[in-house]
A and B are shown apart, each in its own frame.
Chain A
Amino acid sequence: MKTIQNIGLALFLVGLTIFTSLIFFGKYEVTPEILENLINNKGIKSELFINTMNSHVVGKEFTNPFSFSTEITSALKSTNETHKQNSEWDKLIWDKPHSLSYEIAKHSGNGLVKDNKWLFWWLTFGLGIIGALMYIIPNVVVKGPPGIKNNGIWFNAATNRGWIGWFAFVFLVGFYLLLYFRPDYIVNWTYIVDPISESLSGNLASQWFLYGFLYCTVMTVMAVRMYIKYRHNKYQTLRTTSVLFFQIVFAFLIPEILVRFEKPWYDFKNAFPLDYDFFFSWNLNELIASGGLGIFILVWGIVLTLVIVPVMVYFFGKRWYCSWVCGCGGLAETLGDPYRHLSDKSLKAWQLERWVVHGVLVFALVMTGFTLYSYFSGTDAVLGIKTQTIQDIYGFLIGAMFAGVIGTGFYPIFGNRVWCRFGCPLAAYLGIVQRFKSRFRITTNGGQCISCGNCSTYCEQGIDVRAYAQKGENIVRASCVGCGICSAVCPRGVLKLENGPEKGRINATEILLGNDVDLMDLVNQK
Chain B
Amino acid sequence: MEHIVIIGNGISGVTAARHIRKLSDKKITIVSAESDYFFSRTALMYVYMGHMKFEHTQPYENWFWKKNRIDLKKGYVEHIDTKNNTLHFAEGDTLQYNKLIIATGSKPNKFGWPGQDLKGVQGLYSKQDLENLEVYAPNNKTCKQAVIVGGGLIGIELAEMLHSRHIPVTFLVRESSFWNGVLPEEESAMINKEILNNGIDLRLSYNLKEIKSDENGKVKSIIIEETGEEIFCDFVGLTAGVSPNIDVVKNSEIETGRGVKVNRFLETNIANIYAIGDCAEQHDAIGNRKPIEAVWYTGRMMGETVAQTICGNKIEYKPGHWFNSAKFFDIEYQTYGWVWAQPKENEARFYWEHESGKKCIHMSYDKNTLEFIGINNFGIRMRHEFFDKVLTEKKTIEFVLEHLADANFDPEFYKLHEKDIVAKFNAENNTNIQLKKKSWKRIFQTN
A483 to chain B, nearest CB (A): 11
| Max chain B C-beta neighbours (<10 A), residue from A238, A446, A489 | A446
User: Across the interface, do B413 and A235 meet the contact criterion of CB distance under 8 Å?
Assistant: yes
Expressed in whole angstroms, the Cα–Cα distance for A471 and B413 within the complex equals: 27
B111: CB under 8 A from chain A? no
Nearest A residue to B386, CB-CB: A446
Min CB gap A324→B, angstroms: 12
Residues of A within 8 A of B297 (CB): 447-448, 450, 512, 514
A467 in contact with B411 (CB, 8 Å): no
CB distance from A221 to the nearest CB of B (A): 24
Measured between beta carbons, the chain A residues less than 8 angstroms from B58 are 453
Q: Which of B31-51 contact A (CB under 8 A)?
A: 40, 42-43, 46, 49-51
Identify the stretch in A39-47, A129-137, A151-159, A255-263 within 8 Å (CB) of chain B at 4 or more residues. Answer: A151-159
B320 touches A501 (CB 8 A): no
The answer to whether B52 touches A453, judged by C-beta atoms less than 8 angstroms apart, is: yes
Within 8 Å CB of B332, what residues of A?
A: 491-493
Binary B-proximity of A136-155 (CB < 8 A = 1, otherwise 0): 00000000111110111111
The interface residues of chain B lying within 8 Å CB-to-CB of A155 are: 50
**A347 contacts chain B at the CB level, 8 A cutoff:** yes
Given A144-B198, A151-B164, A493-B332, residue A448 in contact with residue B323 (CB < 8 A): yes
Q: Give CA–CA (A328, B427) in the complex, Å.
A: 51
Minimal beta-carbon separation of A443 from chain B (angstroms)? 8
Determine whether the beta carbon of B384 is less than 8 Å from that of A151. Answer: no
B301 touches A235 (CB 8 A): no
- Report the Cα distance A144→B300, complex, angstroms: 35
Query: A453 to B40, Cβ gap below 8 A?
Result: yes
In the complex, the answer to whether B51 meets A234 with C-beta atoms within 8 Å is no
> Shortest Cβ distance from B357 into chain A, in angstroms?
12
A111 contacts B by Cβ under 8 Å: no
CA distance A154 to B413 in the complex (A): 30
Contact A451 B316, beta carbon cutoff 8 Å: no
Q: B415 an interface residue at 8 Å Cβ cutoff?
A: yes
B412 located at the interface, meaning its Cβ lies under 8 Å from any Cβ of chain A in the complex = yes
Which among B319, B383, B385, B445 is the interface contact of A515 at CB below 8 angstroms? Answer: B319
Report the bound CA distance from A450 to B52 in whole Å: 15
* Nearest-Cβ distance from residue B15 to partner chain A, whole angstroms: 10
Q: CB < 8 Å: which of A456, A470, A496 contacts B381? A: A496
Residues of chain B with a CB closer than 8 A to A147's CB: 329-330
Instruction: From the candidates A457, A498, A512, name the one contacting B300 in the complex (CB within 8 A).
Output: A512
- Closest residue of chain B to A156 (Cβ to Cβ) is B50
In the complex, identify which listed stretch (B99-107, B117-125, B344-352, B436-444) lies at the interface while the others stay far away: B436-444
The answer on a CB contact under 8 Å between A446 and B323 is yes
Known: A150-B49, A154-B50. A447 touches B59 (CB 8 A): no
Partner among A493, A510, A516 whose Cβ is within 8 Å of the Cβ of B22: A510
Asked if A151 and B441 sit within 8 Å, CB to CB, the answer is no
Contacting pair A514 B59 (CB below 8 A): no
Taking a contact as CB atoms closer than 8 A, the residue among A235, A492, A500 that contacts B334 in the complex is A492
Interface of A is mostly: loop
Residues of A491-522 at the interface with B, using a CB-CB cut-off of 8 Å, are 491-493, 496-498, 500-501, 503-504, 510-519, 522
If A234-B415, A488-B411 touch, whether A450 touches B319 (CB-CB below 8 Å) is: no
A487 within 8 A of B: yes
A466 at interface (Cβ–Cβ under 8 A)?
A: yes
CA distance A511 to B318 in the complex (A): 13
Determine how close the nearest CB of chain B comes to the CB of A341; give it in whole angstroms: 8
B53 near A: Cβ within 8 Å? yes
Q: With both chains docked as a complex, state the minimum distance between the C-beta of B192 and any C-beta of chain A, in angstroms.
A: 15
A21 at the interface (CB under 8 A from B): no
Q: Which partner residue on chain A sits nearest B60 by CB separation?
A: A467
- Taken together as a complex, chains A and B put the C-alpha atoms of A235 and B42 apart, in Å, by 27
B197 A496 Cβ-Cβ under 8 A: no
- In the bound complex, residues from chain A placing their C-beta under 8 Å from that of B2 are none
Residue in chain B with minimal CB distance to A498: B412
What residues on A are CB-neighbors of B410 within 8 Å?
496
Distance between A470 CB and nearest chain B CB, rounded to angstroms: 6
In the complex, chain A residues whose CB is within 8 Å of the CB of B413: 234-235, 238
1/0 contact trace for B319-363 toward A, CB 8 Å? 111010111011010100000000000000000000000000000
Interface flag for A454 (CB, 8 Å):
yes
B113 interface residue (CB < 8 Å to A): no
A448 touches B325 (CB 8 A): yes
Residues of chain B with a CB closer than 8 A to A491's CB: 327, 332
Residues of B within 8 A of A488 (CB): 411
Cβ-closest chain B residue relative to A347: B61
- Please state if A493 and B334 are interface contacts (CB–CB under 8 Å): yes
**A515-B301 CB under 8 A given contacts A450-B42, A503-B446:** yes
Whether A493 and B409, one on each chain, are in contact in the complex, defined by CB atoms closer than 8 angstroms, is: yes
Contact of B327 with A514 in the complex, beta carbons under 8 Å: no
B159 to chain A, nearest CB (A): 13
Known interface pairs A235-B412, A470-B59, A500-B440; A514-B321 also in contact (CB < 8 Å): yes
In the bound complex, how far is the Cα of B34 from the Cα of A463, in angstroms?
A: 28
Report B-chain residues with C-beta under 8 Å of the C-beta of A233.
411
In the complex the two chains form, what is the Cα distance from A40 to B100 in whole Å?
90
When each residue 119-155 of chain B gets 1 if its CB lies under 8 Å from chain A and 0 otherwise, what string results? Answer: 0000000000000000000000000000000000000
Nearest-neighbor residue (CB-CB) of A144 within chain B: B198
Selected from B49, B313, B317, B411, the residue in CB contact (under 8 A) with A152 is B49
- For A489, the chain B residues whose CB sits under 8 A away are 51
- Residue contact B323 to A517, C-beta cutoff 8 Å: no
| Cβ-defined contact, B301 with A514, below 8 A | yes
A289 at the interface (CB under 8 A from B): no
Q: Which residues of A contact B51 (CB under 8 A)?
A: 150-151, 153-154, 454, 457, 489
- The answer to whether B40 touches A235, judged by C-beta atoms less than 8 angstroms apart, is no
Q: Which residues of chain A have C-beta atoms less than 8 A from B381's C-beta?
A: 445, 493, 496
Q: How far is the CA of A297 from the CA of B413 in the complex (A)?
A: 33
CB pair A451–B411 under 8 Å, yes or no, is no
Name which residue of chain B comes closest to A159, CB basis: B50
Interchain CB contact under 8 A, B304 and A466: no
The complex places the Cα of A519 from the Cα of B304 at a distance, in Å, of 9
* B297 to A, closest residue via Cβ: A447
Cβ contacts under 8 Å, B411 to chain A: 233-235, 484, 487-488, 496-497
B305 within 8 A of partner (CB)? yes
A452 touches B61 (CB 8 A): no
Closest to B50 in A: A152
B61 touches A346 (CB 8 A): yes
Please determine whether A492 and B327 come into contact, CB atoms closer than 8 angstroms.
Answer: yes
Inter-chain contact B330/A145, CB cutoff 8 Å: yes
A519 touches B384 (CB 8 A): no
- Say if the beta carbon of B308 comes within 8 Å of chain A: yes
| A to B CB contacts below 8 Å, 23 in the list | A150-B49, A151-B49, A151-B50, A152-B49, A234-B413, A235-B412, A347-B61, A446-B384, A447-B384, A454-B43, A457-B56, A466-B59, A487-B411, A498-B412, A513-B384, A513-B385, A514-B297, A514-B320, A514-B388, A515-B320, A516-B316, A516-B318, A517-B392
- Other than A452-B40, A487-B411, A516-B315, give 16 A-B pairs with Cβ distance below 8 A: A145-B330, A147-B329, A148-B330, A152-B50, A152-B164, A234-B414, A448-B325, A448-B334, A453-B46, A453-B59, A457-B56, A489-B51, A492-B327, A512-B297, A516-B318, A517-B318
Q: Which 5 A-B pairs have the closest CB atoms?
A: A446-B384, A147-B330, A493-B381, A452-B43, A516-B318
List the interface of chain B (C-beta within 8 A of A). 11, 19, 22, 40, 42-43, 46, 49-53, 56-59, 61, 164, 197-198, 296-297, 300-301, 304-305, 308, 313, 315-321, 323, 325-327, 329-330, 332, 334, 381-385, 388, 392, 409-415, 440-441, 443-446
